[in-house]
Every structure is written in structure tokens, then in C-alpha cells.
């Protein structure tokens, strides 16, 4: 079953148009109040809430609008929708949804997770739920830090913070196994959206990291590359394991100097390329675990314009910026729209009693062949610039 978008602006009309329901003292709250507090027009608020791909002209404005909406505990008014349809059906229960971002400590660290969050935010709005909290807590993806943390106290503090507005939790990114078990005991429904499987701890929407990496490395091998590097996280990381398994499958050596462990940020991608520049032995092809690291590497190549070292670079995610690099970034695209839609579908289905067993939904990535990779014989780039 696929979830579908509806445009609230087109569905609502008259006095009901653009109205939102709040469990605050006022009962009904106009979308105009959100616009006033955020300092934008009601039309801009509506576009942001309904369209995950809508780009605001001012940097950070989209996050500001969503922050304001969350503070007001908004939800689209189903009764207002029914006015236009001539329906007087009983309104369904409104569910409070929390989101935990485990790979980043802010909304700007990794664009992939920001783009996935936008999809889920819009789906929550479309399904008449309330997004009551978004946490950015990278500690949950770090097994070493989790061993040092008092997880019970940390999770109890999060749970108490939302004061009962906590029916379901969507976890975006890898989560420590023990923390995941504790979170699952707290919430009525938990869904993980990830590249690394939870091994049936909770419902999950998965784009398998091993398969993502295999597709990327296989493409480099098809271009004649045998000396292939890896940039990204290594510990308990399916993409790294996929890289290793694919090299082994083709009887290719894993050269330790070609593997640089990073936190998968643009800055560390840049630094990784600097390390390759300083090495006497460099890979001809490089798989970056995510796009933003690869973009950092491209920027480093652009700065130094080293004509004697121009590796083929491939990554995974297919963030928006990947289409605007020169050369354009070859990557494995993850189906963010479907991942976000199915995550909320599974969450609500469990809350409504639709299923009780653990569900694993796996979606496939798609290779996007652009210009950042070439055959070993033809790998002489001279136009690195972003």
C-alpha cells in the first residue's frame, strides 16, 4: 500500500481554509498565526508543510517554519477537509509523533537526513498527526558512547520532555542496539528508517547498506578499477562490510591505506582527500559512504587541481547537491520519498492495531551514472569545480 500526498490548500475552502487544530487553549488556530510568528506569508507556510521538496529562498526559513508549527502542536483539521467534501464522518484519533535523528547533532550536518526528515514531516502533516518533537542526538549511533552513557536516564528524560505527546517514534539513522530496545519499551510504536538493519528489533524501512555499497563498488570494478578506496564509518557499518565483501568477491585486495574512517561530513571528506595527496600509494577509484563526504573530496580536488591524481569517485544517497557538482557526482540513489512514506504507514498501522509482528520493508537503491567516474584508461579530469 502506497501513501499519497494531498494538497491541503486545494482541499480546504472558505473559513476552514488553512486552519489547524491545536490542543492548546484556543482550540482552533489559523495557519496565519504560524505565518505571523515565523514572519512569512500563509502561502509559504502551506507550501513548506505540504511539500518536502519546496525550497525557501531564505536559508533556514523552512526549519524555522517547522519549529514554529511544532511549538504550536499543529495538525490539519480533518473536519475542515470534510466541509469541502460534504462529509461528516467521525474524526479519527490524532496521534503524537516524535522523531529521533541519530546520525546528526543539527539539521545541517548531513543533507541526506535533512531531506528524509522533510519527507516524513510532510507525511505526518498529510496524515493529520502532530509532530511534537524532533531530537538530534548522535550519541545513539555511537556504540562506544552508549556504553558510557546512562541510557535509562537519557531516554527517560526524552520521554518526560514530551509530556504524554508521544504515541509513536520514528528513528532516522542507525541506533545502538541496547538503546533501541529501551526506546521500544517506552513507545507504543517504533519504526527505524535506516541503511543498517535492526535485525528485527523494531519495524523498519531499510535500504540495505551492503547492497548500496556493492552496487557502487561493482560499478568501479566494471570500469577497470582494482585499487579501490573507502571513505566513511567502519565500525558496525553495513556499507563498509558491503565494500569488503565486493572486493573479496572479485579477488581484489583490501589495502589498509585506501580505507579512511570518517564521521561522514563534508569537512572530513575534504581531509581524507588531503591524506591521499600526501600518500605515495593512492586508489584509482573511491567509494564514499555518503554524498556529502564525496562532495568534500571534490572540493579538495578543485582547490589543488592536481593533474596527476584524478580518481573516480562514487558515493550513495543522491542528495540534491549531488546533481550540481562538476563533474556531476555518480551515486547510488536511495528512495527517500518511499522510505519516509512507508515509515509513517508502518508506525500508524501498529498504533491502530493493524499488525503486531515485526515488519521489515526493504527498498532498492538505484545507480545514478553521472560524470565523476571514468574507466582507468580515461581517468584524466581537469575540470574539478563546484
**What does the block give as the cell for 250?**
572479485
Grid cell 521489515 is found at 360
Torsional sign, CA 112, 157, 348, 94: negative
Return the pLDDT at 270.
96
What is the helix (H) or strand (E) element at residue 205, kind and residue range? Answer: strand 203-206
**What does the block give as the cell for 12?**
480546504
Return the pLDDT at 25.
35
Cα 279 from Cα 340, distance rounded (Å): 41
Cβ burial 248-265 (10 Å sphere, 16+ → b, else e): eeeeeeeeeebbbbbbbb
**What does the block give as the cell for 323?**
546533481
- DSSP, collapsed to helix, strand or coil, labels residue 101 as strand
The string of DSSP codes covering 255-303 is: -GGGEEE--S-HHHHHHHHHHHHT-SS--SEEEESSHHHHHHHHHHHHH
| Residue pLDDT, tens place only, 35-83 | 888 888 888 888 888 787 787 878 788 888 888 888 877 766 553 454 4
202: left (phi over 0), alpha (psi -120 to 50) or beta: beta
pLDDT at 129 over 80: yes
Domains with residue ranges and CATH for the chain: 1-91 (1.10.260.40), 209-334+367-378 (3.40.50.2300)
Question: Average pLDDT, whole number, for the chain?
Answer: 85
pLDDT at 173 over 80: yes
Average pLDDT, integer, range 10-28: 33
| Residue pLDDT, tens place only, 311-366 | 999 999 999 999 999 899 999 999 999 999 999 999 999 999 999 999 999 999 99
pLDDT at 28 over 70: no
- The region of weakest confidence among 145-159, 190-204, 302-316 is 302-316
The string of DSSP codes covering 339-375 is: HHHHHHHHHHHHHTTS--S--EEE---EEE--SS---
Question: Please, which pLDDT band fits residue 125 given cuts at 50, 70 and 90?
Answer: confident
- Residue 242 Cα to chain centre, angstroms: 20
Question: Please, which pLDDT band fits residue 90 given cuts at 50, 70 and 90?
Answer: low
Cβ burial 79-101 (10 Å sphere, 16+ → b, else e): bbbebeeeeeeeeeebbbbbbbb
The predicted model scores a pTM of: 0.81
Amino acid at each position: 500500500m502506497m501513501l499519497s500526498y494531498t494538497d491541503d490548500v486545494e482541499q480546504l475552502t472558505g473559513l476552514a481554509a488553512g486552519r489547524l487544530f491545536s490542543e492548546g487553549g484556543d482550540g482552533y488556530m489559523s495557519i496565519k498565526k504560524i505565518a505571523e510568528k515565523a514572519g512569512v506569508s500563509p502561502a509559504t507556510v502551506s507550501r513548506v508543510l505540504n511539500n518536502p521538496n519546496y525550497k525557501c529562498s531564505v536559508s533556514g526559513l523552512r526549519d524555522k517554519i517547522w519549529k514554529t508549527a511544532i511549538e504550536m502542536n499543529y495538525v490539519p483539521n480533518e473536519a475542515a477537509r470534510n466541509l469541502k467534501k460534504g462529509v461528516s464522518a467521525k474524526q479519527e484519533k490524532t496521534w503524537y509523533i516524535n522523531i529521533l535523528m541519530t546520525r546528526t547533532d543539527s539539521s545541517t550536518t548531513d543533507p541526506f537526513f535533512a531531506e528524509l526528515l522533510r519527507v516524513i514531516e510532510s507525511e505526518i502533516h498529510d496524515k493529520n498527526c502532530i509532530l511534537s518533537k524532533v531530537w538530534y542526538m548522535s550519541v545513539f549511533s555511537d556504540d562506544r558512547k552508549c556504553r558510557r552513557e546512562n541510557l535509562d536516564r537519557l531516554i527517560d528524560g526524552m520521554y518526560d520532555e514530551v509530556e504524554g505527546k508521544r504515541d509513536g517514534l520514528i528513528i532516522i539513522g542507525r541506533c545502538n542496539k541496547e538503546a533501541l530496545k529501551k526506546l521500544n519499551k517506552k513507545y507504543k510504536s517504533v519504526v527505524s528508517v535506516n541503511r543498517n538493519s535492526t535485525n528485527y528489533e523494531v519495524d523498519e524501512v531499510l535500504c540495505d547498506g551492503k547492497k548500496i555499497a556493492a552496487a557502487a563498488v561493482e560499478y568501479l570494478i566494471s570500469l577497470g578499477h582494482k585499487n579501490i578506496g573507502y571513505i566513511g564509518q567502519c565500525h558496525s557499518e553495513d556499507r563498509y562490510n558491503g565494500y569488503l565483501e565486493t572486493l573479496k568477491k572479485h579477488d581484489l585486495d583490501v589495502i589498509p591505506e585506501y580505507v579512511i574512517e570518517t564521521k561522514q561530513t563534508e569537512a572530513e571528506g575534504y581531509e581524507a582527500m588531503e591524506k591521499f595527496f600526501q600518500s605515495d600509494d593512492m586508489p584509482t577509484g573511491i567509494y564514499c559512504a555518503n554524498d556529502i563526504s564525496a562532495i568534500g573530496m571534490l572540493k579538495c580536488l578543485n582547490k589543488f587541481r592536481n593533474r596527476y591524481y584524478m580518481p573516480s569517485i562514487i558515493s550513495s544517497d543522491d542528495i540534491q547537491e549531488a546533481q550540481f557538482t562538476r563533474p556531476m557526482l555518480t551515486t547510488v540513489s536511495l528512495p527517500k520519498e518511499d522510505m519516509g512514506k512507508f515509515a509513517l504507514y508502518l508506525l500508524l498501522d501498529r498504533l491502530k492495531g493493524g499488525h503486531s509482528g515485526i515488519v521489515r520493508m526493504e527498498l532498492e537503491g538505484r545507480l545514478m551514472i553521472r560524470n565523476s567516474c571514468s574507466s582507468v584508461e580515461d581517468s584524466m579530469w581537469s575540470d574539478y569545480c563546484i
